[in-house]
Structure 1
Amino acid sequence: MDPSKMAASSLSYEKVVETYKNAAAMATAVTAYAVLARGMARELLPQELRDAALRAVSLLMRGRSGLRAPERRTFVIRRHDEEGDGALFFDARA
């Protein structure tokens, strides 16, 4: 084999390994910041504000991933049992 090709491929592998290490370090840093932010939010923000922020983030993520909101369905019950307690609905079927 040509030594120059081996040296070039060795440099190529080194570059790939270095890129992988940088990506892993970045992912670790992002995860650490997310955990830190979540812990601070639990201590400092009221539950209602945290819920609203979580809904907003989930909507943003859903919009980026192409997922749609779950389909809502409405059941109309026209008749119930004659006993008056409303426990059984004859018209309700899955």
Structure 2
Amino acid sequence: MEMIITFALVYTVYATAADPNKGSLATIAPIAIGFIVGANILAAGPFSGGSMNPARSFGPAVVSGDFHDNWIYWAGPLVGGGLAGLVYGNVFIIDHAPLSRGDF
């Protein structure tokens, strides 16, 4: 679940805010990103289950001293975010030029 919700969030950010060929879609980027965060919270639960933030799961593990299966909350977002970047970068952003020094 961590991988899926992080994939959805990173993919939405790429599609609305980071794609250089997005056109007028950039105007709704904050709304789209907010909606996907809300949908992820509804789908995965705000506290138990999905957290979209490894630190949110790491803090209670430190306090309780129970790190059993805590790796999922670190591996899931890393894999999901990486997959979203690879999928969007290789499928939708095909003709992009690397950033030059003046683009910052």
So what's the TM-score if we normalise by structure 1?
0.32
Structure of higher RCO (CA pairs closer than 8 Å, 6+ residues apart): 2
Bigger radius of gyration: 1
Higher helix proportion, which one?
2
